[in-house]
């Protein structure tokens, strides 16, 4: 009865200083949230790129396997998948896995499926003429991919990749269900101990808002850095874009020279209309 009365009285007044007084608790959860999101997103990016390349494979075995991988992991709710990885796989089969490792694994596998489709779409959005032009001047397939396709695909996939990282930060809160002491978990413990639910969850909302807003502007900056360059007018706004403009101009000039040489050979080889 006394505890219930204290809880009611505690919620009757709003104390904004409560958030600041307990900032060390929020910061502990924030640092773990950031680490989980960064590690899981880095692994998901590498795995997603591999999935994208394998999805574009011409192998009749690899391609359907990767398609099934993408469809399966995109169809499972993340909360269910976190529980399955930790309780259904790690504990049931006796794997020596911590809750943090299980959470990172679940986030990595699911987000790799989404990122794989984003990367595949970005790579396929680069016109085939770009690849053909690069190979016509003597570039190998790996050189064409890394020097011509990758820079253009990066500009295309940057905005959706940023959205996925924001989603990763928010979805990392779901690992609280398996006991990971990230931001939401420590917020729940603090609220249950102090009965200051409004202040605690207001602080949690503010922290997530700060994190996601910072990531949004970071990827917005990357998007501007990787913006498309108008080669004809040379409208460039950064040293990176200026260097890329010069590379594309040289490539365009080389293609034009090859076409001119082919046209000259064609005229020399054709019979004169006055002969015969």
Q: Give pLDDT, residue 79.
A: 95
Query: How many domains does one find in the chain?
Result: 2
Which residues lie closer than 8 Å to 74 by C-beta, 6 or more apart? 110, 113, 114, 117
Instruction: Give the residue numbers spanning the domain of 253.
Output: 230-267
| pLDDT tens, residue by residue, 132-177 | 888 888 888 888 888 888 888 998 999 999 999 999 999 999 999 9
pTM for this predicted structure = 0.77
Which residues lie closer than 8 Å to 10 by C-beta, 6 or more apart? 194, 195, 196
* Nearest Cα residue to 38 out of 267, 215, 238: 215
| Mean pLDDT score of the chain | 84
Q: Percent of the chain at pLDDT above 90?
A: 54
Record the tokens describing residue 194, joined without a space.
């102090």
Same domain, 108 and 222: yes
- 61 φ/ψ sector (left φ>0, alpha ψ -120 to 50, else beta): alpha
Flag whether 136 is in a domain. Answer: yes
Record the tokens describing residue 31, joined without a space.
């640092």
Region 95-105: mean pLDDT is: 91
Same domain, 118 and 250: no
d(CA 48, CA 109): 9
Select the more confidently predicted residue: 243 or 159: 159
Same domain, 152 and 234: no
d(CA 110, CA 20): 35
């Amino acid at each position: 009865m006394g505890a219930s009365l204290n809880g009611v009285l505690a919620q009757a007044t709003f104390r904004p200083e409560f958030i600041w007084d307990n900032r060390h608790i929020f910061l502990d959860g924030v640092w773990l949230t950031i680490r989980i999101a960064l590690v899981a997103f880095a692994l998901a990016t590498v795995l997603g790129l591999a999935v994208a390349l394998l999805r574009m494979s011409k192998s009749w075995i690899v391609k359907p396997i990767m398609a099934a991988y993408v469809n399966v992991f995109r169809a499972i709710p993340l909360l269910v998948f976190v529980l399955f990885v930790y309780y259904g796989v790690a504990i049931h089969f006796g794997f020596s896995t911590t809750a943090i490792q299980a959470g990172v694994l679940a986030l990595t596998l699911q987000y790799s499926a989404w990122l794989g489709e984003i990367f595949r779409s970005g790579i396929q959005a680069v016109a085939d003429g770009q690849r053909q032009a690069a190979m016509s001047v003597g570039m190998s397939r790996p050189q064409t991919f890394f020097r011509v396709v990758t820079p253009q695909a990066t500009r295309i996939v940057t905005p959706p990749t940023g959205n996925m990282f924001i989603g990763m930060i928010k979805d990392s809160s779901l690992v609280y269900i398996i006991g990971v002491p990230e931001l939401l978990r420590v917020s729940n413990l603090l609220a249950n101990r102090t009965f200051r639910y409004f202040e605690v969850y207001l602080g949690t909302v503010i922290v997530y808002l700060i994190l996601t807003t910072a990531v949004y502007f970071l990827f917005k900056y990357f998007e501007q850095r990787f913006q498309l360059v108008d080669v004809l007018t040379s409208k460039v706004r950064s040293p990176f874009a200026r260097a890329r403009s010069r590379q594309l101009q040289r490539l365009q000039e080389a293609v034009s020279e090859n076409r001119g040489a082919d046209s000259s050979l064609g005229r020399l080889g054709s019979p004169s209309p006055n002969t015969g």
